[in-house]
A and B are shown apart, each in its own frame.
Chain A
């Protein structure tokens, strides 16, 4: 059974490989985004050495690593699931001898793995040549960061699955998917690190799962958070990863009772 899921990862990886041209332009796009935010934050920092608990060097690294991490954890599982539900092909998935949601996650993982190797790694090299990015020197930090990156992927996928499954209950969840996308980019700390938010808002965001996607791993990578505190962040991620399974399971159970194929 396990090898079946491993195969799904491999197949999606190979499919992505067949369309790799798309990803060269993708590297340029991410470089543009990183450049825009780099200069913007440079202007914000001005003569200040440190703002919002981050030095300007840490900020540069944070922007670069957050965008490159996004290439890995980002996927369109919400859209894929919603499409399967809308065109009715999810009915076929129900009768197959595997777990549909797990299959989707594995496919997303194959896609993410492809982008990590073909996109984030070369992209990070290019970006570090253009901008003053500081890499962590401690291998332990790298280890913690990579573990957190994997958890980022899982949490983001869980949120995507939840959004996608809403298509079972409403006829059109397009708006919801778009809003989720904006919410994830903003609340995860990708665009603005959480420590820059107004206090009241930050407190709320710290109790939401979004920060676990970008802000927590970024904090470890930049060295804003070190030692035991880094492990605490890892545990926060683990907790969210586990906690999000419950609503997905509940929704999946409820959905199977009220599958309603439009048009068919």
Chain B
């Protein structure tokens, strides 16, 4: 309850900040959509030269990409800690956060909330609906619930790995440049994982399970016969990785000594 009231207060603050720089908000949305547009354009160009990609048709690959956009948008809204080392460790803002009663990670998430990214999720749903309509997907009554469950699981995987990587800042005082890795691995998960070799498939399933962020859950809606089992693991993998990520974060906070500034 306490956390929820905090969310409300932080959102109010966010809106006030945003309204002062209105044009920035639209610029951010526009450039975000342009980036997504390029990725979709890439898929369209690729399919001008081949009818299938690893056995998947154009509409199916677009559908997978649309699904990916949904957890991706929510993740970007929640976990916007890209400048964590500079702002919180080097400049010492972490000390301020730690003196307050709410959990430090919750505060960080709320301070850096970026609801503009949710627009990407909305577009993702539209993309899924259009592509799904073209394929003629059949939906059962429980599919919307599964969709929500998969999305939550996917965001938790994303968040868990991201939080763990960000927590490295507590141990190393120099920026490691490891976070952009996250951003680049996304390049893999937007497409059917069966086009990759065994090593990459293994990594994306078990080590950095990003295949559960896009492909596995999306494949469930396209081909239930083959992909139900992997898709249903999404929430479990999400819970495990989020738990691990937060545990590592908490361990890092205990080790944190401040930059001494």
Contacts and interface: CB of A to CB of B under 8 A. Distances in A.
The answer to whether A and B belong to the same complex is yes
Interface of A: 19, 21-23, 25-26, 28-29, 32-33, 35-37, 39-40, 42-46, 48, 51-52, 172, 174-175, 178-179, 182, 185-186, 191-192, 196-198
Given A21-B174, A29-B180, 6 more contacts: A23-B177, A25-B178, A32-B187, A35-B188, A46-B52, A175-B30
A40 B31 contact: no
Nearest to B183: A29
Given A174-B27, A191-B42, A42 B49 contact: no
Interface residues of B, number: 35
Consensus secondary structure, chain A interface: helix
Interface string B145-162: 000000000000000000
Interface of B: 23-24, 27-28, 30-31, 34-35, 38, 41-42, 45-46, 48-50, 52-54, 174-178, 180-181, 184-185, 187-188, 191, 195-197, 200
A46 B24 CA distance: 44
18 contacts: A32-B181, A32-B188, A33-B187, A36-B187, A36-B188, A40-B53, A40-B195, A43-B54, A44-B53, A48-B50, A51-B50, A172-B27, A178-B34, A179-B31, A182-B38, A186-B41, A196-B48, A196-B49
A63 to B, nearest CB: 12
Contacts of A197: 45
> Nearest 10 A-B pairs (CB), nearest first?
A175-B27, A43-B195, A178-B31, A36-B187, A25-B177, A22-B177, A32-B184, A39-B196, A43-B54, A44-B50
Nearest to B186: A36
Given A21-B176, A28-B181, A43-B53, A35 B27 contact: no
A144 to B, nearest CB: 28
B29 to A, nearest CB: 10
Contacts of A33: 184, 187
Given A36-B188, A40-B46, A191-B38, A174 B177 contact: no
Contact of B31 (A26, A29, A175): A175
Contacts of B48: 196, 198
A22 B200 contact: no
A192 B42 contact: yes
A33 to B, nearest CB: 6
B97 to A, nearest CB: 26
B200 A35 contact: yes
A175 B46 CA distance: 28
Contacts of B184: 29, 32-33, 36
A172 B180 contact: no
A182 B34 contact: yes
A36 B53 CA distance: 14
Nearest to B30: A175
B30 to A, nearest CB: 6
Contacts of A43: 50, 53-54, 191, 195
Nearest to A36: B187
A214 B176 CA distance: 28
A192 B40 CA distance: 12
A52 B174 contact: no
Contacts of B196: 39
Contact of B197 (A39, A52, A175, A185): A39
B177 A46 contact: no
B200 to A, nearest CB: 7
A46 B50 contact: yes
A16 to B, nearest CB: 13
A160 B41 CA distance: 24
Contacts of A51: 49-50
